[in-house]
Amino acid sequence: MKNFLESITRRSGKASIENEVDEELHFHIDMQTSDYESRGITTEESRMLAQARLGDVERIKSECIRISTGNIFLTWVLTFVFLMSLIVGLLVRALSTEMNVTRVGTVMMMIGGLGILLVYAKRAGSMVFTTSSSVQLGLNNSPPVSFDEQGRTPFERVKSL
């Protein structure tokens, strides 16, 4: 089973996931670096402080990749199940002459179709959209978007719980 999962994640673009995670982590480090630089700290020291604040970047990267590749497999399975529900519903509806059975086919078609739309919407919602306005959010005097009012990263907030 593990080989099957690995083959699916390889085909699903694990390299692109690694690139996305890498870019995201570098973005957060760069934003925190620019925040430290705006406070008068040198560039090299700002970079070191930002990396120290984020924590173990390699561990975070591997965890994000693991979560993303697991989501790909789950998305694939859900899409397959909903597609089968849609097809079976169509067949039941087309081949049945009894009213109660055709209603079951209609319900199965609705579940399949809406499920596929739900998976598609979830996938579209997790895509990264880059605009110039989103980059500018962290360049003013407020902390970057991922940091809270106290300047803590999401990882620091979880650690403090």
- pLDDT tens digits for range 35-61: 888 888 888 898 888 888 888 888 888
Residue 38 identity: S
Residue 37 identity: E
Q: Which residue has the tokens 């529900």?
A: 85
pLDDT digits (tens, 9 = 90+) for 18-28: 888 888 888 88
pLDDT reported for residue 125 = 66
Q: Which pTM was predicted?
A: 0.44
* Arithmetic mean of pLDDT over the chain: 77
pLDDT digits (tens, 9 = 90+) for 54-112: 888 888 888 887 777 766 778 888 999 999 999 999 999 999 888 888 899 999 999 99
Angstrom distance (rounded) from CA 29 to CA 50: 6
φ, ψ for residue 9 (rounded to 5)? -70, -30
Q: Is the pLDDT of residue 118 over 60?
A: yes
Angstrom distance (rounded) from CA 41 to CA 37: 5
* DSSP state for residue 144 in the 8-state scheme: P
Contact 35, 143 (CB under 8 A): yes
DSSP string, 8-76: HHHHTTHHHHHHHHHHHHHHHHHHHHHHHHHTT--HHHHHHHHHHHH--HHHHHHHHHHHHHHHHHHHH
